[in-house]
Amino acid sequence: MNTGIFFDLDGTLWDSAENVVKSWNATFKECGYDLTLTVADLQSVMGKLMEEIADILFVSIPENDKYNVLKKCEENENALLEKEGGVLFDNIEKVISELSKTHKLFIVSNCQAGYIEAFLKYYNFGKYFTDTENPGVSGQPKAENIMLVAKRNDIDNIIYVGDTNGDYLATKKAGGTFIHAAYGFGEIEDETAKINDITELPALIKKMEGDYPVD
């Protein structure tokens, strides 16, 4: 079997919430709106599509300008994250470096175009990942993006590591196996495989693959 390991980004590999909130609040002021969000506000909607996040959090912005402001927020956020990064969870590079020697690694996240690229550029992680996808580029939600990446990289055994129930449901729809990053932001509605620390991932994947050879 050709196994691919797919990662969510927020709550799984890093926490960018502090810098995202900083850039968004500055953008609201720039656009003339008296709106201030907190890290807790942002973390409460992690994993949702960007338009859904705007629908929930941009309550004081008129409907006819809400998505224009969102687009500006996304642009400013990408620029700041590329320059300052976020909070990388402990041992991430050690684990992805190890896994990249035996597997193809991917990132599929419900984010805007440029967000994953900012993450990869800031940490110089592009060398570890074969491919990425997000709805800002494809126009598709997470399950479809997982399947899209699997198809174009000849992956027939999808293992997805994520922290939210939305990640779990998308993985099920895509026909993959889900691993809950229980150190992240979300809870899962069913019993699933889980890790409490990223360092547990390589051994769990070996156990899941059993006697299947690694291509």
Is 169 inside any structural domain? yes
* pLDDT reading at 205 higher than 50: yes
- What is the spatial distance between Cα 66 and Cα 86, in angstroms, rounded to a whole number? 25
What is the pLDDT, as a whole number, of residue 210? 80
pTM confidence score? 0.92
Cβ contacts of 183 within 8 Å, gap of 6 or more? 89, 163, 195, 196, 197, 198
Lowest mean pLDDT among 36-40, 85-89, 149-153, 206-210: 206-210
Q: Does one domain contain both 39 and 11?
A: no
**Domain count of the fold of the chain:** 2
Is residue 121 within 8 Å of residue 82, measured between CB atoms?
A: yes
**Same domain? 78 vs 107:** no
Q: What is the pLDDT of residues 35-88, one digit of tens each?
A: 999 999 998 898 889 999 999 999 999 999 999 999 999 999 999 999 999 999
Q: Which domain holds residue 7?
A: 3-15+87-209
Question: Do 49 and 117 fall within a single domain?
Answer: no
The verdict on residue 116 lying in a domain is: yes
> Quick check: 47 and 110 in contact, CB under 8 A?
yes
CATH code for the domain in which residue 107 is found: 3.40.50.1000
Of the residues 38, 55, 84, which one is the last residue of a structural domain? 84
**Alpha-carbon distances, residue 42 vs 6, 102, 114, 143 (angstroms):** 23, 35, 19, 22
In-domain check, residue 76: yes
